[in-house]
Amino acid sequence: MYLNLIPLQEREEWLSDWVRNGDLPFMCIEFGTPFHATFLRGRNGFGEAIFTEPLATEFCAIYLGTEAYSLETPSYRKRIVNSFRSGQQYSSWHGARELMELPSFQLIQALFIRNTWRSWRTWGITGGMVPWEMEPQLWRRNREIADQTLKTVWTEGKRGAHFDELPRWVFYYLQPEGGFEVLPGGKALIESNGDTLAWIAGPPNSFTSKDHHFFAGEKVRKQIVLINDSRKKQPFEAVWTVEVNGRVLSSRSAKRDARCRRDKVFAHRV
Contact 198, 226 (CB under 8 A): yes
Question: Where does the pLDDT of residue 220 fall: very low under 50, low under 70, confident under 90, or very high at 90 and above?
Answer: confident
Worst-scoring range by mean pLDDT, 11-15, 119-123, 154-158? 154-158
pLDDT above 50 (res 228) = yes
Mean of pLDDT values over 141-152: 94
pLDDT digits (tens, 9 = 90+) for 235-253: 989 898 989 899 998 899 9
pLDDT (0 to 100) of residue 265: 44
pLDDT above 50 (res 268) = no
Question: Where does the pLDDT of residue 263 fall: very low under 50, low under 70, confident under 90, or very high at 90 and above?
Answer: very low
pLDDT (0 to 100) of residue 162: 86
pLDDT above 60 (res 95) = yes
Tally the C-alpha atoms within 13 A of residue 8's C-alpha that lie toward its C-beta: 21
pLDDT (0 to 100) of residue 260: 61
pLDDT (0 to 100) of residue 270: 35
The three-state secondary structure class of 150 is strand
pLDDT above 60 (res 261) = no
Contact 220, 214 (CB under 8 A): yes
Mean of pLDDT values over 128-142: 93
pLDDT above 90 (res 7) = yes
pLDDT above 90 (res 208) = yes
Q: For the chain, what is the mean pLDDT?
A: 91
Instruction: Return d(Cα 48, Cα 35) in angstroms, integer.
Output: 15
Contact 185, 138 (CB under 8 A): yes
pLDDT above 90 (res 27) = yes
pLDDT (0 to 100) of residue 50: 96
Closest CA to 102 of 59, 136, 71, 133: 71
pLDDT (0 to 100) of residue 79: 97
Instruction: Give the best-scoring range by mean pLDDT among 77-81, 223-227, 242-246.
Output: 77-81
pLDDT (0 to 100) of residue 255: 87
Closest CA to 38 of 5, 1, 80: 5
The three-state secondary structure class of 133 is coil
For the chain, percent of residues with pLDDT exceeding 90: 73
* φ, ψ of residue 19 in degrees (nearest 5): -65, -40
For the chain, percent of residues with pLDDT exceeding 70: 95
242 or 190, which is more confident? 190
Contact 97, 183 (CB under 8 A): no
250 or 41, which is more confident? 41
pLDDT above 50 (res 267) = no
Residue 199 β-bridge partners: 225
pLDDT digits (tens, 9 = 90+) for 152-176: 888 888 888 888 999 999 989 999 9
